[in-house]
Structure 1
Amino acid sequence: MMRRVWLLLCLLSLAACTSFREVPSSATPLAPTVQDQPFDVSGRLAVNIDGKGHVAGFDWLHTLDSDALAIKSPIGNTVASLQRDRDGVTMDANGERQHADDVETLTERQLGWPLPLANMVWWVRGHPAPSSPYAMTADGDLQQQGWLIHISRDAANLELPRRVELARPGLSIRLVLSDWRQFVPLQSLPVTP
């Protein structure tokens, strides 16, 4: 019986993956006067560090002053939560609470790899982070703060990013953004060929 339940869950996951069509997309530069906007998104997260893979679901609520990120098991139970605000970052996992000044320091210490949340806030919306220099590759991928970022969008609504892949030596992070509950397009500059 349990085997059938797992099979059904796997088939439903595959069906959810094919419910939209992705198209590759370049990151679009932001207008100098752009202001951050809140968003609320769920999806799947895959991390590969030195050849070891981990998969989870996530719910991410971003506001102008904070982030709340819940990491979920394949069956939907929250296994870790991360809260960022003006006072720093707190992570609750395995019955323990940890605190640090920034997300990268805390996740490096607790997970063994840094989660670049401050820049991911921009990357998941298809833009370079405005606070640091960046470059574009010939393939249209973004290079920023040591990461190579590949962005795919929903073919039916090109404003909505659907997949963001981050890579650097020994580490890759893939986000599949399957449920945007709140998304406000950011003011971007026209892309010139």
Structure 2
Amino acid sequence: MNNLSYFTKTKLLWMIFSLSLLSACATKTPNDLIPVNVSQVSQAQAWEMQGKLAVRTPDDKFSTNLYWLHTPDSNELKLTTMLGTTVLSLTTQHGIAKLEVDGKVYKHHDAQELLTEITGWSIPVDSLPLWITGQADVDDKVISQDEQLRPKVILSLSDTPPWKVEFKSWQQQSGAQLPRLLQLTKGPLRLKIQISHWQALATTEPTNNQKSPK
């Protein structure tokens, strides 16, 4: 399947028409997670973000709304239209990845392989939670930093050819500094992610280190 085949203009318009016949449902934060403020993004037990994703290849381009809910045990990624209807949903939990697209459901043990196999995309879903929050993965090399020692350019050495991650601008949300705009490049593929909302979350359940009140 060719890259971006699910998101050519004809396909996307057909999806918008079909899905607009249904009522759009807003994504809700799970009840066991509450908003909190943190001084650093690494302090967040979980987080959710909203923004935009733009993808460009030599043959095609598209942009869509992006929602991501990240917890230590799971990820939920959704691409939605301007009407708020979901055209792609990717979730990972308990070692199983589930992709819902075009009314069909696919499962695999590896989210990246599943996304590439079904859609033809090569989007680094495993590393994106760190990059979205301005952090380098263990196999990444920080090429340059700004005057506040925040990364400006990162190379992902675990990929061949490597992903080049450029942090274009920064912002403060939930009390922490994180990217506002980042660009990912791998060969002819270019992704731009603009983060309009990022919320640090904490679990409402007590951890092992928390004692119940007497």
TM-score with structure 1 length normalisation?
Answer: 0.70
Higher radius of gyration, 1 or 2: 2
Task: Say if 1:142 and 1:149, in contact at 8 Å, map to a contact too.
Answer: yes
- Number of residue pairs matched? 151
Aligned-residue sequence identity (percent) comes to: 24
The match for 2:198 among 152, 156, 180 is 180
Correspondence 1:71 to 2:79:
yes
Correspondence 1:148 to 2:168:
no
Task: Say if 1:47 and 1:174, in contact at 8 Å, map to a contact too.
Answer: yes
Correspondence 1:59 to 2:67:
yes
What residue in structure 1 maps to residue 98 of structure 2? 90
Cα distance per residue 1:78-131 (max 9 Å; x no partner): 11111012222100111100112222211111221122111111111111013x
Return the offset for 1:137.
Answer: 4.5
TM-score with structure 2 length normalisation?
Answer: 0.63
Task: Say if 1:103 and 1:115, in contact at 8 Å, map to a contact too.
Answer: no
Q: 2: distance between equivalents of 1:95 and 1:70?
A: 14
Cα distance per residue 1:111-166 (max 9 Å; x no partner): 21122111111111111013x14241588311113111011202797703211211
Q: 2: distance between equivalents of 1:37 and 1:129?
A: 17
Q: Give secondary structure in 2 for the equivalent of 1:141.
A: strand
In structure 1, the gaps of 5 or more residues are: 1-29, 185-193
Ranges of 4+ aligned residues in structure 1 off by more than 3 Å: 34-37, 137-140, 155-158
Task: Say if 2:77 and 2:89, in contact at 8 Å, map to a contact too.
Answer: yes
Q: 2: distance between equivalents of 1:166 and 1:133?
A: 13
Query: Where do residues 69-148 of structure 1 align in structure 2 (5 Å cutoff)?
Result: 69-130=77-138, 132-137=139-144, 140-145=152-157, 146-148=162-164
Q: 2: distance between equivalents of 1:35 and 1:182?
A: 9
